[in-house]
Chains A and B, each alone.
Chain A
Amino acid sequence: QKEVEQNSGPLSVPEGAIASLNCTYSDRGSQSFFWYRQYSGKSPELIMFIYSNGDKEDGRFTAQLNKASQYVSLLIRDSQPSDSATYLCAVRSGGYQKVTFGTGTKLQVIP
């Protein structure tokens, strides 16, 4: 079983819709969760981090964490074509453990 799992996609949504990206993780001791966006040919860019159960909102982005279900998601409201990219979920266990990345979900926002 992979430590961090994401559906590779592509996930296609129409412009203006809500895109929902999901991620599950296997280590119950994980404490910090990150979402990165990676455009083709570019390096990952941090979008959000979350470490408490519940929702965290930042502009059009909302991260949701459910530690009991070992599930973290990213919602993108009012999706724009410029949101088309690969979204990487990253998870870190306690202390200064290395971050484990998922393989990413490719999002396509259709104009």
Chain B
Amino acid sequence: GAVVSQHPSWVICKSGTSVKIECRSLDFQATTMFWYRQFPKQSLMLMATSNEGSKATYEQGVEKDKFLINHASLTLSTLTVTSAHPEDSSFYICSARELVGRDSTDTQYFGPGTRLTVL
């Protein structure tokens, strides 16, 4: 399958600081990327859909001014958690959609995730 990378894999920061997470599609172009959040023992929660060159579409209840998403190229999307607080501590996972799939379908591939801990 296609490869999606995320950086960093984990980060610990102080309350009030901002954290940027990068998501890259390594061997394919992704016009659409997705950002998810997952709390322990809970299901994936879609935060936003990011389309290359346009503004992200946020899910209901997700603050767009707090979770800044940039998708400047076909292989890179970034999520910045601004003024992070302890309740933002979670597992953040990106996913990239391979539009012209090698498997002849439109498939989402996940990055390895970033574990954020806000002290």
Residues of chain A at the chain B interface (Cβ within 8 Å): 32, 34, 36, 41-46, 49, 51, 88, 90, 92, 96, 98-99, 101-104
Contact = CB atoms under 8 A, between A and B. Distances in A.
Interface residues of B, number: 20
Given A98-B49, A103-B43, A43 B105 contact: no
Contacts of A43: 91, 93, 110-113
Given A88-B44, A104-B43, A49 B113 contact: no
Specify the main secondary structure of chain B where it touches its partner. Answer: strand
B43 A32 contact: no
B78 interface: no
B1 to A, nearest CB: 6
Contacts of B44: 44, 88, 101
Interface string B59-95: 0000000000000000000000000000000010100
Given A32-B105, A46-B1, 7 more contacts: A41-B91, A42-B112, A43-B113, A44-B93, A90-B108, A96-B106, A104-B43
A101 B34 CA distance: 13
A52 to B, nearest CB: 11
Interface of B: 1, 32, 34, 43-44, 46, 49, 91, 93, 97, 103, 105-113
Nearest to B1: A46
Contacts of A41: 91
A42 B113 contact: yes
Contacts of A88: 43-44
A46 B107 contact: yes
